[in-house]
Structure 1
Amino acid sequence: MLVAMLGPFRVHDGRGEPVELGGNRVRTLLARLALDVNRDVPARTLIDDLWGEAPPGGATNALHTLVSRSRRALSPVADLRLCSEGLGYALRADPDEIDLHRFERLAARGRDALREDRPVEAVEDLRAALELWRGDPLVDFRGATFAEVATTRLERLGRSALTDRIEAQLRLGGHADLLDELARLTSVHPLDEHLAELRIRALRAAGQRAEAVACYERLRRQLVEHLGTEPGDRLRELHLALLRDGSADGTSSSESSDFAQHGPLVSGPNGGAAPTGAAPPRPMSGFVGRERELSQLEHALREARLVTLFGPGGSGKTRLSVESASRITAQRVLFVELAPVRDGHDLSSAVLTGLGIRQAPRLDHGQPGGDSLPRLVETLASEPTLLVLDNCEHLVAAAAQLAERLLSRTPELRILATSREPLALPGEKLLPVGPLELPDDVEVAASSAAVRLFARRAAAARRDFELTEDNTAHVVEICRELDGMPLAIELAAARVRSMSPRRIAERLDDRFRLLTRGNRSAMSRHRTLRAVVEWSWELLTGPERVLARRMSVFAGSARVESVAEVCSGAGLVVGDVEELLADLVDKSLVEAVDEGTVMRYRMLETVRVFCAERLAAADETAPLGRSHAEHFLAFAETAAPLVHSREQLAWLARLDAEHDNTMRALRWALANSDAEVGIRLAAALNWYWSMNARHTELTERMRDVAALSGPAPAESRAVVELVSRLYEDSSGWSERLGASLEKLRETDAMSRYVYLGLLEPMVWLLTERLDEMADSLRRAAEHHEPWPNAAAHYARAMLAERRGEMSDGEQHADRAVAAFEEIGDRWGMAQAIASTADFHSLRGDHEGAIGKLTESVRVLRELRSPAELVPQLARIGMHRVRMGDLSGARSELDEAFRLVGKTPSSHRITVTYGRMELARAEGDIGAARRLVHHAEADLVALGSPPHPMMRDLLLSFRIRLLLDEGDVWGARELFGGVLGGEEVVPGRPMSAVLTEQLARLLLHEAEPEEAARMLGVAASLQGVLDRGDPDVREMCTRLRERLGDEEFEQLRASGAELSVVDCHAELRRVLGR
């Protein structure tokens, strides 16, 4: 054993020799990491656990130094490695080389053997487990919070292992050897009913009936004296059996007289016992939220005689039942807590006890407690009653049987059950109890039930706590991270006594250690977050546990087919997965989400984290991570071509549903440096990301994937490199992009990724390399798939617009629309239709442009993709501004603004630009300037702008505003260094917009000839003069008035005839004066 923690802390080398560790801090760090062996522990958690509320200055550096010292101390132990992991550290070792982990494994295996009636194996494993104990666990670290929590758990497990071992020995007939040990244990723990039961059974088996009866009486007196309670059902039944033993042996029944006098103490109607202790509890804290559930429950209790509130642990089922019961006045309400009941074989007797009714023993009955059901029926039938049976999940079969019998015999009885699993009876009305309502936005957080619950409980824990502008976002984060589950939120709120909400939110990645200080009056399984989940875990069968831990590898939800493929194998048969999944849903470990045509399955995040720990403990994290990544790589590569087909809507919906899983697979590939998986996955998802304007994936994730070294398909790597460079924004961008395009062409990637039929020629167009673009268009037009053929028409329309070939461009756009419609690609149809709007716009036909864009929006709405709707709505708004319909423009732009959200994106900047145009048209220059600031802030927040065009567009608008105000010098200053620079080519259309504003500047400077020529230069750069722009129309009118029609047209034509290179030379000439 390399690490010993069940007693004084020791580390041994491979020969069993003790290792000198040095100071206590090193020992504490190693003990803390050994508790979570092979799991990453965040640095901030280690700092809290090592130094508590008084961390040293520079705590991170102090921890780093301590880690270095610990590594030196462990150098003689080859099989113990202290590793840096992300933002924390981990101790890597075989768990069996750490005594407490070996103990837990052996104890669990022994317990399973006992449950499966294999007592020989159980004794062997449990003895081996208990022999590992050398003293009190973690004795050297008393006072440390992490040690206190672990010690409590280990002591409970140790006691359980001890009683399990004794139980197994009793089954093997070893009662005589156990008498002395049990006598000693019951003297140390005089109130432990389980130990007393084991001793009484051993005494009875050894023929010492009188001592067994005396043992029972001593326990009963102790319980009455110290706890004010009687022994539980099992002990009372065992006592009855002892008394029967005596009667059979000729023992006088008077020996039982002392027990017999403790019969019913209270008589009810018709001689029955009246409930004395069954009123619903009265919580000390107020009830928050659940108005809809309370209404549903009230209605259900009127309609059905059996209603079950079911849901995961900590969801508030008990609290909801108590609140509902407190509002009932028309009938008697009785409340029975079943959590303490360990055995359901005579549940009716336990319910009677819970109701406060004691029964006299009936020595003439053949079975112990045989009269309990009639007695319970008699009690409940005396008047209309609602019986609340709380926490049925561990006794679900017995609870169902009892409920059925009671309801069949008592017509005026209704039962409200709470359980993590339905009772599954005919006529049962099921009401799921899930998370509390979470806020959609920080601005409305205070109205959500989850945040209100946190705020109330936090205020109870710290009187001065209140929601503020500074802490609300962190409270929302806490509630979301904890899935809106009431118990978890209450445990988190209790921590505000010593932590800020921000600190609590930061520590939720270690939630099971953070949330350990619950209400001391609550049941033990509700005092810590871990205990809540462990209670459900303990109720699972072996195969259910295997599936549950393996399901933790999924992000969000998954289809049953995915769960079966990823999780099957190594002891889990693929054909069993669907039934096991249904069992996990019934037991509230997994949530079933109905998505219309299919069901998807998800775990609450807290459950997922717990199961991920179990996955790591089973040493399955690595293989399941690979299985998950490879499964979703195959899914993405299947979906990629189908998003260009008639099945587009269905596959886009599937990609939306699996987005979290595909991103988890991508993160796995990055974390494991798996270039093949990462590069193929990114290349397959690229078009989907583009269609949905997923900027982070297209920029940051693409760059990360492009940096992966290792074998990967050449065509996939070339796609990833191209896209990663497409979103760069630095000097030499055009040349690097061209080099990536050359590499892409060499691999013939278009044959695998049909979206390159559009992407490749459009990027060539962006870099002004028209010969290469022609080659791309040829290959796209000759492609064996129809989608690149349609895309070639769309790209030719763009090229024609650039060249000013309006008629040719419109023809290609119309062909693209027809081709995409034939394929069934709504996205392609919408884009091609929108491109025809550009030709109407450039002619000044705003009505025609709006008509085309409206048709495009209609098609896009079928895609249910707000990201694609946004730019088209914004364009409609801008056209309405240009035609003077400011009210209509505001309506379109408001809808676009609602859809685009608050996260910076290129589409958000487009919408803001439309709002800038509207503010300017309304004469509100101040509002327009503020909107420019917002757009520029979003551009900076993007980190890597989608294209320099966006920057030029905002700059051109700033110049417009300055010229509107007559600030000629300010406008000329902004032009400095923009036009005429080396990087002007990639932004050619935007350069045209800037050139139009330069013409306005020259007109303000009384140089009409230069202004007219600049309008020609703008037409050359853009392909045609934008006659839809009111500024351009106004300039043309003024210049014609100043110069006359003939001279104006000659000057404009002289600029329009220039090549791109000559245009830029002309711009440098004008700006350099």
Structure 2
Amino acid sequence: ATTTTAAGTTAAGTATTTAAGTRQARPSNLPAPLTSFIGRDGDLARIDTLFAAGRLVTVLGPGGAGKTRLAVEAARRHRHEYRDGAWMIDLASVTEPAKVGAAVLAGIGLRGGALFEASARLRDDPAGELDVLADQLGGRESLLVVDNCEHLIDAVAHLIAALLARCAGLRVLATSREPLAIDGEALVPLGPLTLPEPDADVEQARRTASVRLFAERAAAVRPGFDVDERNLGEVLRVVRGLDGMPLALELAAARLRTLSLAGLSDGLSDRFRLLVTGSRTALPRHRTLGAVIAWSWELLNEHERTLAERVSILPGGVTLASASALCAGTAVPAAEIPELLAGLVDRSLLQLAPGPGRYRMLETIREYGLARLAEQGALTGVRDLTARYFAELVARHDPLLRGPEQLDALHVLRAEYDNVLAALRHLCDTRDAGGAIGLAVNLTWYWQMLGRHPDAAYWLGEAVALPAEPPGVERDIAEGVLLLNTIATQSALISDSIVERREELRALTGRLLSRPELPGFAGALTALRLASLEGTEASPAIIQRLADGPDVWLAGLAHLFRAQSAENDGHLDQVRGDVTAALERFVRAGDRWGQAAALPLRALLRQYDGDLDGALADLNEAKRLAREFGSLSLSDEFFIDLRWIDLHVRLGETARATEMIASARERALRSASPELAILLDAREAGLLVRAGDLERARELIESAETGLSEQRPFGGDHGQALVGSVRATLCLELGDGPGAEEALGRAYAEAVGSRDLPIVATVAVTVAELAASYGHYRDVAVVLGAAARLRGAHDRTDPQVRTLSGRGRAALGGECFAEAYETGWQLDAPAALSRADPALLRGAADGAARSRVE
């Protein structure tokens, strides 16, 4: 490789041409190279050979050897071969071993949680980072370029080993100063670029990679530069003295902007004579590179050195604003900083980074800058200044996440996230409890929007573990948010922990609720969620208080929260008012996230109203808005797909629904969460029963039942209820009344256990079908009415409801059917729940059987 990294703009994707001549996009974030790639053909060929036999290749070498550039070039040349993308994961800025998974999630543009999961309620156990990654990467054909692994070697090794074991289509190209040392790893150790012989002539020298690199980079700063008879001796002295180290060659070439080649050669010779005083245990190439960096540093003027040292504190890159902030209080004039940054780029000490106005410093150079700050005794002070700057940046941008500037604020926080976490780590390390808690609380909504519950749980845990006197309301908020995010990352509501901490939780909720004004956004959100978790009677009052309050965004959130709860309880009149109010307020606030969360609920209402096209439009818009925040998680996509499938069935587009089921099943089976296919099998089995393909329906429902017996996804009870309901329908078509009764009995018990009334309503419709099989059409009408009461709405576009209603009217007459249906509809929720019990039909079934015998 010719340079240690390839900085450039981030590519949204690449495209290849298929056999049919069409262009097929390949997603990727590989940086676009700003300079040509020189040498390393043998190493590229070795990587290709090793990937033909294995799935993990690690490029080894010291800092400055060109590991990153080689890995990126190898990935770039073969990115079209990976159907689901080639992704660059730079771990240089990650300081916590526990954050490696989050870095990979961020690198491939994924949200860590499901935006629609509260409405979907497909499972009670939100996935951890490894599960989310395996969901997204499992079965897909992807390449991860995992860069700068050495400082997190154990954590990286464990994560990559786990992903490779679970994701058969995944390949990993890592760079590190030491091997990962896991099964299946193949190594590509990097030596220096090929060097010319001491007596090489011009043509021989030009053919070597080290001379080609030096000459090309020199020509970039001194147009017209070339290797010829006049300068050959000095070029040989430089490239041989630099041991063919790519970074050293680039730093030296950059000096030709201000030095002659002779001056460069003499200066380097002086530096090399000093190496004998350095560490004799260091590898020669390490000492060579260190000498070149030190010499480059010393050739900077005072202001350039100050700026370079201070921006080395930033693992996530530097902007004009952050550089200016870090130079505050120094002799560096603010007006000179743009020119100084450009000068550091010219000298190869900074590189352009993805995104306008952003620069990054290579890790090898950054390490030198940090050492300089430490030598001066300035490291802690600069870190203090950095922490204050980024705490203020987060405090300014957090409110913007809930308004019309949302996407811009999200872009800033994403770009600065590594620097923000470095600031948070410093605050924790220096025991600044107030600063750490304040910064963590201000990150609350950013974490929530992107589903980064593990990040929230980790950093809030670090912050609240710091001693602080007095505790104060901000600590209460932090503890509440910590609990909520811990719940989101662990088993179902971590019930044991909640029981153990019941009194602590109740006291915490009480302290927050006792305040006349809930303290800020985070305080309001925490109080609302904790009160709901506790089941306190104050919860409705808090929601109303926020819904009527002056904060438009919080009012929208309160209406949305109440709508989601009301839908679960079958109170669709409440849902209708709250969804309308939530959308109106989120639109007024300019918040796309809130709209994306509320639209699926409005789609459900439109579906019940018979406006199926409007429902489809709402789901499409929700997905479009959600994608503005990043790729949807698998459960997000699955939830939307299930809703789309159902709408196409209602529209009579069964073929389209079947295609969507097949596509969604393929993605589920290729993922690390194949249990998602269980509901798809059940859904397709129901369609096949209606189409008369009973044998294939039997195969699918047996597959779903097998999956449920091996695990209990979606909270178990939801899945059992839905699958059992389809099994009962199949039994009825096969003329197996007792089998249908048995399946419905289990399904009804599971549905009641779910405490989700719309799920009970789904089972109740099949109970009505069982009643129809016995010829008891008054029961059919009453149970259909009870099902409508449980879901909170009539469902006249559902094919099963429509068919049963038609049969009931034909048997009873329209007036009698309507009267019986109204009887069920007028029941209260507990009575409707009881009326849907299939056990009530047993007597009718026994009577029908006796009649047939007689």
What range is the shorter-chain TM-score in?
A: 0.5 to 0.7
Deviation, 1:396, is 5.0
- Contact persistence 1:718–1:747 (CA under 8 A): no
Query: Cα distance 1:861–1:978, how it changes in 2: closer, same or farther (>3 A)?
Result: closer
Residue of structure 2 aligned with 1:591, choices 348, 351, 356: 351
Query: Cα distance 1:640–1:399, how it changes in 2: closer, same or farther (>3 A)?
Result: closer
Partners of 2:440 and 2:710 lie apart in 1 by 29
- 1:757-768 map, 5 Å: none
- Contact persistence 1:844–1:1029 (CA under 8 A): no
SS where residue 1024 of structure 1 aligns? Answer: coil
Deviation, 1:638, is 1.6
Does 1:954 find its partner at 2:715?
no
Residue of structure 2 aligned with 1:1023, choices 771, 783, 792: 792
Residue of structure 2 aligned with 1:783, choices 514, 532, 549: 549
Deviation, 1:893, is 8.0
Deviation, 1:875, is 3.3
Partners of 1:709 and 1:629 lie apart in 2 by 19
SS where residue 279 of structure 1 aligns? Answer: helix
TM-score by length of 1: 0.45
The corresponding residue for 2:452 is 694
Letter in 2 for 1:583: G
Letter in 2 for 1:394: A
- Contact persistence 1:629–1:669 (CA under 8 A): yes
Letter in 2 for 1:539: S
Partners of 1:1002 and 1:569 lie apart in 2 by 83
Does 1:535 find its partner at 2:284?
no
Letter in 1 for 2:493: D
Task: Output one character per residue of 1:168-223: Cα deviation in whole Å (capped at 9) or x when no partner.
Answer: xxxxxxxxxxxxxxxxxxxxxxxxxxxxxxxxxxxxxxxxxxxxxxxxxxxxxxxx
Deviation, 1:849, is 0.9
- Contact persistence 1:279–1:335 (CA under 8 A): no
Deviation, 1:1031, is 4.4
Residue of structure 1 aligned with 2:485, choices 714, 724, 732: 724
Deviation, 1:339, is 6.7
- Contact persistence 2:682–2:701 (CA under 8 A): yes
The corresponding residue for 1:854 is 620
Partners of 1:1012 and 1:730 lie apart in 2 by 42
- Contact persistence 1:679–1:706 (CA under 8 A): yes
Task: Output one character per residue of 1:414-469: Cα deviation in whole Å (capped at 9) or x when no partner.
Answer: xxx99xxxxxxxxxxxxxxxxxxxxxxxxxxxxxxxxxxxxxxxxxxxxxxxxxxx
Letter in 2 for 1:1023: G
Does 1:752 find its partner at 2:520?
yes
Partners of 2:636 and 2:438 lie apart in 1 by 29
Residue of structure 2 aligned with 1:963, choices 728, 732, 737: 728
Does 1:875 find its partner at 2:643?
yes
Partners of 1:733 and 1:1051 lie apart in 2 by 48
Residue of structure 2 aligned with 1:554, choices 303, 314, 327: 314
Query: Cα distance 1:663–1:954, how it changes in 2: closer, same or farther (>3 A)?
Result: farther
The corresponding residue for 1:279 is 204
Partners of 1:658 and 1:677 lie apart in 2 by 18
Query: Cα distance 1:806–1:1032, how it changes in 2: closer, same or farther (>3 A)?
Result: same
Does 1:641 find its partner at 2:641?
no
Partners of 1:670 and 1:1071 lie apart in 2 by 62
Partners of 2:829 and 2:701 lie apart in 1 by 32
- 1:929-944 map, 5 Å: none
Task: Output one character per residue of 1:807-861: Cα deviation in whole Å (capped at 9) or x when no partner.
Answer: 6654553444343333322333344444321211223432221133334445556
Query: Cα distance 1:516–1:796, how it changes in 2: closer, same or farther (>3 A)?
Result: same
Residue of structure 2 aligned with 1:340, choices 215, 233, 237: 237
Does 1:394 find its partner at 2:252?
yes
Query: Cα distance 1:806–1:990, how it changes in 2: closer, same or farther (>3 A)?
Result: closer
Partners of 1:1071 and 1:818 lie apart in 2 by 45
Aligned residues: 606
Residue of structure 2 aligned with 1:655, choices 388, 405, 413: 413
Relative CO higher for 1 or 2, CA cutoff 8 Å, sep ≥ 6?
Answer: 2
Partners of 2:706 and 2:328 lie apart in 1 by 54
Letter in 2 for 1:829: Q
- 1:828-867 map, 5 Å: 828-860=594-626, 866=632
SS where residue 451 of structure 2 aligns? Answer: coil
Query: Cα distance 1:657–1:933, how it changes in 2: closer, same or farther (>3 A)?
Result: farther
Partners of 2:456 and 2:556 lie apart in 1 by 24
Task: Output one character per residue of 1:142-168: Cα deviation in whole Å (capped at 9) or x when no partner.
Answer: xxx9xxxxxxxxxxxxxxxxxxxxxxx
- Contact persistence 2:602–2:615 (CA under 8 A): yes
Q: Percent identity?
A: 24
5+ residue gaps, structure 1: 1-39, 43-84, 89-144, 146-226, 231-274, 288-293, 311-320, 326-330, 344-349, 351-389, 406-416, 419-512, 518-523, 941-948
SS where residue 340 of structure 1 aligns? Answer: helix
Query: Cα distance 1:720–1:706, how it changes in 2: closer, same or farther (>3 A)?
Result: farther
Letter in 1 for 2:720: L
Does 1:685 find its partner at 2:443?
yes
Partners of 2:494 and 2:467 lie apart in 1 by 24
- Contact persistence 2:760–2:833 (CA under 8 A): no
Deviation, 1:650, is 1.2
Letter in 2 for 1:780: L
- Contact persistence 1:702–1:723 (CA under 8 A): no
Partners of 1:228 and 1:815 lie apart in 2 by 78
SS where residue 601 of structure 1 aligns? Answer: strand
Partners of 1:781 and 1:533 lie apart in 2 by 61
Task: Output one character per residue of 1:509-528: Cα deviation in whole Å (capped at 9) or x when no partner.
Answer: xxxx9x988xxxxxx53xx5
Letter in 2 for 1:650: D
Query: Cα distance 1:646–1:991, how it changes in 2: closer, same or farther (>3 A)?
Result: same
Partners of 1:607 and 1:919 lie apart in 2 by 61
SS where residue 237 of structure 2 aligns? Answer: coil
- Contact persistence 2:789–2:826 (CA under 8 A): yes
- Contact persistence 1:856–1:872 (CA under 8 A): no
Partners of 1:852 and 1:645 lie apart in 2 by 21
Task: Output one character per residue of 1:896-917: Cα deviation in whole Å (capped at 9) or x when no partner.
Answer: 9999999879xx9989967874
Query: Cα distance 1:533–1:747, how it changes in 2: closer, same or farther (>3 A)?
Result: farther
TM-score by length of 2: 0.55
SS where residue 556 of structure 1 aligns? Answer: coil
Task: Output one character per residue of 1:552-575: Cα deviation in whole Å (capped at 9) or x when no partner.
Answer: 443433433224434655787767
Does 1:582 find its partner at 2:346?
no
Task: Output one character per residue of 1:569-610: Cα deviation in whole Å (capped at 9) or x when no partner.
Answer: 578776765554333322323222252xx4122234455456
Deviation, 1:762, is 7.5
Task: Output one character per residue of 1:610-633: Cα deviation in whole Å (capped at 9) or x when no partner.
Answer: 655666666666555554444333
- Contact persistence 1:897–1:911 (CA under 8 A): yes
